[in-house]
Chain A
Amino acid sequence: MTESARKISDSLYLPKSASIKKVIQFTELEKFYHLSFDDGSELGHQPGQFVMVSLLGVGECPISISSSPTAKGFDLCVRKVGRATEKIHKLKEGDKLGIRGPFGKGFPVDKLKGKDLLFIGGGIGMVPLRSFINYAVDKRKDYGRIILLYGARSPKEIFNFPEFEDWKAGKKDVELLLTVDRGDDKWKGNVGVITTLIPGLKIDIEKTYAIVCGPPVMYKFVLLALEGKNFKEDHIYLSLERRMKCGVGKCGHCQIHGYYCCQDGPVFHYPQIKNIKEAL
């Protein structure tokens, strides 16, 4: 069968079964899941792509892939925020769920070889960034500096990723700058929104590329702060969130003017969406 004939005969909407191998409760609302496909296959994704997670009888939701393709299996991090994600939160190690994908255009990992990477993640925006951070760490020689600005609302809401202690200790050659909007009694680190970390950065703007993901409200302030550093517009990549029902460029919900977020994104080059009012 030819490629196109094979595709036509298959259903676009048939999920593939995966099992949960490990669950970590990050915060009250967020859980981390390590999964693998029951047929032993790998997801074969690019950093920055997403999957549609399917729960029979409940529905589907788009979830960012948090792991690097250099690792076995794949990781998702799910915030309990709707019907499907509430159900996912009830699942335990050994339980199964359906996966479609990977979908979309991820981070330009090849184009950014040899460059310094400035990751700017706010809250759950850290989840897709981690797929590229771990990829760059595993291919350390291919990239220059790896700088990570991570902002959470409070110390309790910082995600304890499996490699987080390494990052904090400065291992793996990752320069981590952590901040929280509000501290607590024990917190001794930075307090303030993520943009407060940007002015003091010592970076080579010719060589540095920013990769940004966070809540919708964060992007404009981050862009302003980067502009303040004379950061080049075409050195910025953003990962965006949209409502999605199919993941395959049909259902229309994720349309951002001429782009489908599920096909042309979720990662966009800033010049692509700069003049689109509804993009951010």
Chain B
Amino acid sequence: MLGFVGRRIIYLVPVLLAVTLLTFFIASLLPGDLAYAMLGDQATPDKVAALRHEMGLDLPVIWRYLHWLGDVLQGNLGRSFRTGETVADAITGRLPVSVELMLMAEITGLLIGIPIAIICAVKQGGAFDRIATGIAFGKLSIPAFMVAILMIYLFAVKLHLLPATGYVPFAEDPIGNIRGFILPALTLAFGEWPVLMRVLRSDMIATLQEDYIAMAKAKGLKPWRILLVHALKPSSLTLVTVTGINIGRLIGGALIVETIFALPGIGRLLVTAIYARDFIILQGVVLFVAAGFVIVNFIVDLLYAVLDPRIRHGRA
């Protein structure tokens, strides 16, 4: 187990370094100079030169990268030149919103996807299977922003059941908070379940052909026990991977849904930073989101070992 974790960590470090490099490189794509962008209308050659010097922009690029990397490793991602808020504060303030949204969406997606996948796998080729896989395939062509609009139109505009926008902190009004998350979470879950369902369905179909399932039947176990204990666990490796990737992706990646439903999460922070041309915040959020994505995937790899004892014992 320790050797397995060690091998994964050795792989993690260079990937994280590459992520910092790429983030730094993207920021340097900015035409002109950050100093110009920051000073805006007040940019005079003297002021720009002074700011450049102050920020170390006149140093060679490799020094700037190392300097920046050093700051990042100490947790210092800089400070917004518009609001003065530190990037770290901006992220920690919005992270709970994104995590709450992500959890609600992912759990809903799994609650929809897993039972459908199991039914489809058991009744493979039947009417339910064909309809469900058809819907799942069609769903892959409906992007989140379309679903969001449909949701708002149906539940907020027509039925007046749920608010389309309006975030309330959980501490102030728990019920209002949950109500505010239902539509965005459903929108995301609507995009999640077909993917989860397709993955689990095909793995489950393969598992149901295995000898140990015939063995479980021969043991006279109850059908639900065969499906949920004997078939689901060995079929869920890919499902766990995909769920993990989605979790990583939704932290910060739910930017469209967060923007449409005006939820102050990481994704919304990213979009507002772009609208405001707040490049320090933008760079910090991109780095956070990408590094978070890599680290979540790393944790998912470790989860594999929990699910499959063969990997845990180094027989992968």
Q: Do A and B bind each other?
A: no
